[in-house]
Structure 1
Amino acid sequence: MDTTKAHEHSCSSTKGHNHDHETGHNHGKSPVILFFTGFAIFIVAFFLNEGSLLQDILFISAMLLSGYHIILEGIVDTISESKEQRKFVPNVHILMTLAAFGATIIGNYEEGALLIIIFAAAHFLEEYAEGRSKREITNLLKMNPTEARLIQADGSVKTVNVAALKIGDKLQVLNGDQIATDGIILSGRTSIDESSINGESIPREKTVGDEVFGSTINGTGTFTMEVTKDSKDTVFAKILQLVDQSQSNLSKTATKIQKLEPYYVTIVLIVVPIFIAIGPVLFNWSWNESFYRGMVFLISASPCALAASAVPATLSGISNLAKRGVLFKGGSYLANLATIKSVAFDKTGTLTKGKPSVTDFYFLADRAQLTEQTCIDLIVAMEKTANHPLANAILDKFKADRVLSLTVENEIGKGLVTKYQGDTYQIGKPEIFSLVNTQINAHNEQYAKEGKTVVYFAKNNEVIGLIAMMDVPNENAKTVIQYLKSQGIHTTMITGDAELTGQAVGRQIGIDEVVGNVLPENKAAIIKDQQARFGNVAMLGDGVNDAPALVTADIGVAMGDGTDIAIDVADAVLMQNDLTKFSYAHKVSKRLDRVVWQNIIFSMFIVVALITLNILGKMDITIGVIAHEGSTLLVIFNGLRLLIPSKE
């Protein structure tokens, strides 16, 4: 991950080799100093007497100094790669090196030096441009916490290295501290800036029992916490793993260009001597002019712009998404997202909030000589003693006017039972009650058709009310489904719930297809069926049971609040559980596809135009160099447009 070790640029990065080897391809300060020294010598030589020996020597010196790393990579890398692969594997720099030396051989010292200087300058500009696209992601490394305040057995606090922490250790976190690792608050209250984890700029309020994450920044409060994860397993550590993968995994288009480059360069090296040989025969050129045109051909045919077509654009797209809490493990996954024809969603926690909410309630309070509020007061008092998700949903919905002190029993086959003012009150499933009037039954049937879970409230065994609950849709689900439909993408919900429940949620959000009663082991089979029916399929999920389907899908996307295994096997992660980020990622992927093809077509057009003008005798080395390197930079900066946010 050290940026000085993985230094890449458009004309050589496509080979993907590590520049930290013995040949000194670590492009630190030395090549830059040599470049500017050579450039200064070139300026001095330019004003000397034309054709003088001193001028020629200075031009050659300028070429060697400014092009030191270009020449080195051209010759040494070609030799080392050829030895390693046991076949001739030339790179683009060898073309530039040969063209410069060729110009020198025929006495065009100024053109040879100018070629290397402009090429080297473009080389450094390209490195800077690509560096910008990586910076947002790489900056995450600077946020990696290194120290923690460990509370020792005697109560004293000692500053230790984060790597030394163990699960169960207790830490002190002061105001403004960077939280060292993932854990749970034991005491204290605070607000925490979690933007490094989820991209959310508004601090989160935290208190006892709440989870906290390593690398996030504590606000004005202080608290103690217990370590719950090893440093290598924290959410932030997993983000860094994604970062590492995303910087090394290029798009498929980039990979194809990588594979084609050595063949392309080999063809150029074969064609150039033929071109020089037939020049005097076909075009009546002198041997000197034919050789000169051959050198211009070398420059014109160099695929630098083509090599730069995909990599900077892909890295820019990944960086753009990383800033918005969407992490892709590699450029190929982002590039492929534009090709999906179907998206399958897990229901619970992905399309829905993942916990039940009260949607409807109905009381026949008058029949029991009670007010509706009295019914609510009794229900709240009873449910406060329960410990299950449905109780939490009821307590979130209803607020008591009076706090009742009741003795509540949770009886098997009866539900919650209590006594109040001589009467027996009961909350339970509909099937345990026998005295149910037609109005209650009608409401129960209606809510059941809507896929809702119903509990009854009874007084002295007579049902006097019911509460309907369901896992309601994520507030962004409908918007995302509408977007996917507008793109002609099929949408499917996969759920282990009953078909009726799934259909109810599906109708609310407008999904195309619902598959219910699905066992975890069958989810991957459904993805394979979707692939056979539609083509490339993306899968969004958050649970352990989604992992096989995430792996099977062409693009697996995990929700950031999901399980570790889902995040581990997925190709991308939505850090905030915000579904709109998925549609945003699809928009970025489509932009990436357009930009890459714009770059490829433009770069090939420039190559053909320069070669044609060269054959017609309408171009010299100077024009060729400026046009060639200018097109490369235009391609680079076109790719960097992906750093600009898409319209959400």
Structure 2
Amino acid sequence: MMEEKALQNSKETYRLQGLSCTNCAAKFEKNIRDIQTVNEVQLNFGASKITVYGEATVEQLEAAGAFDGIKVIPEKQKRDVEQKIPFWQKRENRNTMISLFFLLLGYISVYRYDEEYFPAILLFGVSIIVGGYPLFKVGIKNLFKLEFDMKTLMTVAIIGAAIIGEWGEGAVVVFLFALSEALEGYSMDKARESIRSLLDIAPKKATVRRGTEEFELDVEDIRINDILLIKPGQKIAMDGEVVSGQSSINQSTITGESIPVLKVVGDEVFAGTLNEEGALEVRVTKRVEDTTIAKIIHLVEEAQAERAPTQAFIDKFAKYYTPAIMVIALLIVLIPPLFLGGDWSEWIYRGLAVLVVGCPCALVISTPVAIVTAIGNAAKMGVLIKGGIHLEEAGRLNVIAFDKTGTLTQGTPEVTDILTFNGRAEEEIFGISMAIEKYSQHPLASAVMRKAEQQGISQADYHAEDFQSITGKGAKATIQNKTYFIGSPSLFDELMVVSPGINEQIKDLQTQGKTVMLVGTGEHIIGLIAVADQVRESSKRVLQQLESIGIKKTIMLTGDNMATGQAIGKLVGINEVKAALLPQDKLEAIKSLREEYGKVAMVGDGVNDAPALASATVGIAMGGAGTDTALETADIALMADDLEKLPYTIKLSRKALAIIKQNILLALGLKVLALLLIIPGWLTLWMAILADMGATVIVIVNSLRLLKVRK
């Protein structure tokens, strides 16, 4: 335990520049792990970040990544010091263009003279050295260490081409490989822009009032309880509570909502949101590292670090694939000349082509680029997907279960009816109910409290003692030396025999979609309160959309009675209703659905439905913005209290899953086709590298299509 604590204390996180390829990332991680003072390393390729446990300087880390020119920047360092180098100004890309220049000069010489012309060979040689130096530096080291990756394959292939006199083709291979690396780096940068744009959402400075003084501070220097002064048109720099003024706030950056939300005194506001019209004073409630946008960024980056099942399989497959390609190439070089009378030069050439076409670049990047793009796009739309595994699982869902209150309904129930018995007055029923419900957290309790306050009933007149919650059924307390109960009809069925007349009234109200609460002692019912929750306008539309995109079944899991559940279910068009469920019953219902249908999602508020959310294949929480429980419990959080984000999430996940499969088939299919063309000698070296580069580019462009998926 002490060791774990010490490890956490020595943790440092860094952002990386120049991390473009998964193989380079793996090598960089291994090099850092070899530093004696480093205990553990976690590299996040998608977010371009690394966490180091132990002691290591920036200089040591950059030395570990010197083979690929990786720059290391402490995460706490201000981001505006990071240099964003344009694509054509990067040294490796300039070298690629210089390599192309000498390559073209070489082919002009060949055209005018012949392939044996010494200046042509010299020009091709310069092209190979200029374009391939970073590649050879790593590839030759790997060769001596017997570490076989794509740079080892390419180094052997290019040196082999030069040895057998194919200088021109060797130079073409170098240029195309360098171009492929540049395009891969560019595309990964584009995919990572979704995170970078999140990082730039919140302002870096804000105007603060402390006492009577006003001044501008960096957000890192702002303290809890400081007062932010926010003018119209300004972005809010920190999470806080409005203490003065009112205004419409555009929260689209956090929740994805397109319509601004009116904020008044006492309302919560988030860092990175835009104040549209009025002047506000906001009391800071969270430090900069604890704001909602900071949590979203952290969770998105962690999500991109978590490997999806497909990615884990591909990484394992690639580990054995590269050495296998080396063995196949060697057999192609040796067997025909030794046993079939083949020409050595011809079969060495074909073996080199196998090395080139066997480069696993496209295969290795096929999954991570799609996952990074999809998770980043979802975050921009106000949907937080907490890992590639959850993205894939959401794409395979067959059934979606919904909580009723706050999910299919608005979650703000109102009292619609009150009936009194045994000569009791309405005021007394409300007073007793209010006194008990004051201690309850249930949504129905707030409806009773609001109605009692509207009736002008004072809490001072009714005081409850010995409050006790009765899980899933209601509550009891002592008022004026007498024990009173408030709760569901099932609670009173356990306490007494309910008269047929009252039962008839209960059923009548329940068939109207109303929830009934009874108030009474252990012997008599003294009142009945009916409460109705308004169905969300979007619920029916969302359920229709889910059916149209292939969800086989929708089911409501509610703690409410069956009559109310069925009334709401019929209104929204849900397939099945399971009612009168306690939290453990919802958990069992999810387990049963998983056994019957396989992949099942649970949609709830992330608090009352925590066990069911955790047990489902994918737990989806509503209204994650500012709700720590929802962010921590669920696999996917819909940041706005907006059910319409759900079909978009399923659509994006299914699209991502389809694109990952397409990428793998494309990468493997093109390689198999190219390998088959090598056997009869129809595939040249430059065609092989073109096939490999083509596969990489196709996979990347295909993955970037996920940026176009919209609500």
TM-score by length of 2: 0.74
Which residue is equivalent to 1:7? 19
1:69 match: secondary structure: helix
1:112 match: secondary structure: helix
Shift of 1:640: 1.7
Residue in structure 2 matching 1:530, options 585, 593, 603: 593
1:600-639 correspondence runs (5 A): 600-639=664-703
Which residue is equivalent to 1:461? none
Contact 2:606 2:613 in 1 (8 A): no
Which residue is equivalent to 2:304? 247
Does residue 198 of structure 2 align to residue 133 of structure 1?
A: no
Contact 1:78 1:91 in 2 (8 A): no
Which residue is equivalent to 2:69? 26
- Aligned amino acid, residue 26 of structure 1: G
Does residue 616 of structure 2 align to residue 553 of structure 1?
A: yes
Contact 1:506 1:514 in 2 (8 A): no
Equivalent-residue separation in structure 1 for 2:504 and 2:564 (angstroms): 18
Does residue 510 of structure 2 align to residue 448 of structure 1?
A: yes
Which residue is equivalent to 1:102? 160
1:177 match: secondary structure: coil
Which has the higher mean CA deviation after the structures are superposed, 35-44 or 290-299?
35-44
Shift of 1:292: 0.7
Equivalent-residue separation in structure 2 for 1:75 and 1:545 (angstroms): 59
- Aligned amino acid, residue 495 of structure 1: T
- Aligned amino acid, residue 104 of structure 2: I
Which has the higher mean CA deviation after the structures are superposed, 481-490 or 223-232?
481-490
Contact 2:202 2:236 in 1 (8 A): no
1:196 match: secondary structure: helix
Equivalent-residue separation in structure 2 for 1:522 and 1:8 (angstroms): 49
1:245-394 correspondence runs (5 A): 245-281=302-338, 284-357=341-414, 389-390=446-447
Equivalent-residue separation in structure 2 for 1:313 and 1:99 (angstroms): 30
Does residue 513 of structure 2 align to residue 470 of structure 1?
A: no
Contact 1:66 1:120 in 2 (8 A): yes
Shift of 1:445: 3.9
2:232 match: secondary structure: coil
Q: Go from structure 1 to structure 2 and tell me whether the alpha carbon gap of 1:75 and 1:330 turns closer, same or farther (over 3 Å shift).
A: farther
1:202 match: secondary structure: coil
Contact 2:235 2:273 in 1 (8 A): yes
Q: Go from structure 1 to structure 2 and tell me whether the alpha carbon gap of 1:295 and 1:408 turns closer, same or farther (over 3 Å shift).
A: closer
Q: Go from structure 1 to structure 2 and tell me whether the alpha carbon gap of 1:408 and 1:269 turns closer, same or farther (over 3 Å shift).
A: closer
Shift of 1:186: 0.9
Equivalent-residue separation in structure 2 for 1:117 and 1:538 (angstroms): 48
Which residue is equivalent to 2:135? 70
What root-mean-square deviation, in Å, do the aligned CA atoms of Structure 1 and Structure 2 show? Answer: 3.9
2:692 match: secondary structure: helix
- The superposition leaves residues 501-555 of structure 1 with CA deviations (integer Å, 9 ceiling, x where unpaired) of 4344333331424243313x66545433433332222222223333343333322
Equivalent-residue separation in structure 2 for 1:489 and 1:442 (angstroms): 37
Which has the higher mean CA deviation after the structures are superposed, 476-485 or 330-339?
476-485
Larger RCO, structures 1/2 (Cα 8 Å, 6+ apart)? 1
Which residue is equivalent to 2:467? none
- The superposition leaves residues 199-219 of structure 1 with CA deviations (integer Å, 9 ceiling, x where unpaired) of 223322222122111111222
Aligned-pair identity in percent equals 33
Q: Go from structure 1 to structure 2 and tell me whether the alpha carbon gap of 1:440 and 1:570 turns closer, same or farther (over 3 Å shift).
A: closer
Which residue is equivalent to 1:58? 123
Contact 1:499 1:517 in 2 (8 A): no
2:608 match: secondary structure: helix
Contact 2:606 2:633 in 1 (8 A): no
- The superposition leaves residues 406-426 of structure 1 with CA deviations (integer Å, 9 ceiling, x where unpaired) of 99986579xxxxxxxxxxxxx
Equivalent-residue separation in structure 2 for 1:289 and 1:91 (angstroms): 25
1:143 match: secondary structure: coil
2:582 match: secondary structure: coil
Shift of 1:194: 1.4
- Aligned amino acid, residue 66 of structure 2: T
Does residue 106 of structure 2 align to residue 45 of structure 1?
A: yes
Q: Go from structure 1 to structure 2 and tell me whether the alpha carbon gap of 1:406 and 1:43 turns closer, same or farther (over 3 Å shift).
A: closer
Equivalent-residue separation in structure 2 for 1:12 and 1:407 (angstroms): 70
Equivalent-residue separation in structure 1 for 2:28 and 2:605 (angstroms): 34
Equivalent-residue separation in structure 2 for 1:130 and 1:502 (angstroms): 48
How many correspondences in the alignment?
592
Which has the higher mean CA deviation after the structures are superposed, 340-349 or 16-25?
16-25
Does residue 605 of structure 2 align to residue 542 of structure 1?
A: yes
Shift of 1:306: 2.2
Contact 1:251 1:330 in 2 (8 A): yes
Contact 2:253 2:380 in 1 (8 A): no
- Aligned amino acid, residue 69 of structure 2: N
Which residue is equivalent to 1:573? 637
Shift of 1:15: 7.8
Equivalent-residue separation in structure 2 for 1:493 and 1:320 (angstroms): 29
- Aligned amino acid, residue 170 of structure 2: G
Contact 2:565 2:577 in 1 (8 A): no
Equivalent-residue separation in structure 2 for 1:296 and 1:116 (angstroms): 13
Contact 1:14 1:254 in 2 (8 A): no
Shift of 1:393: 7.1
Q: Go from structure 1 to structure 2 and tell me whether the alpha carbon gap of 1:162 and 1:546 turns closer, same or farther (over 3 Å shift).
A: farther
2:203 match: secondary structure: coil
Q: Go from structure 1 to structure 2 and tell me whether the alpha carbon gap of 1:72 and 1:328 turns closer, same or farther (over 3 Å shift).
A: farther
2:555 match: secondary structure: strand
1:492 match: secondary structure: strand
Equivalent-residue separation in structure 1 for 2:28 and 2:308 (angstroms): 13
Residue in structure 2 matching 1:217, options 267, 274, 282: 274
Shift of 1:255: 2.2
Contact 2:558 2:580 in 1 (8 A): yes
2:93 match: secondary structure: helix
Q: Go from structure 1 to structure 2 and tell me whether the alpha carbon gap of 1:409 and 1:11 turns closer, same or farther (over 3 Å shift).
A: closer
Q: Structure 2: state its 5+ residue gaps.
A: 1-12, 30-42, 49-61, 71-84, 420-425, 439-444, 465-485, 493-499, 519-526
1:574-589 correspondence runs (5 A): 574-589=638-653
Q: Structure 1: state its 5+ residue gaps.
A: 83-87, 364-374, 399-403, 414-427, 433-437, 457-464
Does residue 701 of structure 2 align to residue 598 of structure 1?
A: no
Equivalent-residue separation in structure 2 for 1:406 and 1:10 (angstroms): 67
Which has the higher mean CA deviation after the structures are superposed, 542-551 or 138-147?
542-551
Which has the higher mean CA deviation after the structures are superposed, 159-168 or 175-184?
159-168
Which residue is equivalent to 1:144? 202
- Aligned amino acid, residue 177 of structure 1: Q
Contact 1:89 1:262 in 2 (8 A): no
Which residue is equivalent to 1:36? 97
Equivalent-residue separation in structure 1 for 2:362 and 2:401 (angstroms): 38
- Aligned amino acid, residue 452 of structure 1: K
Does residue 218 of structure 2 align to residue 161 of structure 1?
A: yes
Contact 1:328 1:571 in 2 (8 A): yes
Shift of 1:405: 9.8
Shift of 1:78: 7.4
Contact 1:539 1:550 in 2 (8 A): yes
Q: Go from structure 1 to structure 2 and tell me whether the alpha carbon gap of 1:227 and 1:193 turns closer, same or farther (over 3 Å shift).
A: same
- The superposition leaves residues 143-196 of structure 1 with CA deviations (integer Å, 9 ceiling, x where unpaired) of 23332333213x211323323334333222223332121111111122222121
Contact 1:70 1:97 in 2 (8 A): yes
Equivalent-residue separation in structure 1 for 2:323 and 2:456 (angstroms): 87
1:578 match: secondary structure: coil
Which has the higher mean CA deviation after the structures are superposed, 210-219 or 39-48?
39-48
Shift of 1:225: 1.6
Which residue is equivalent to 1:642? 706
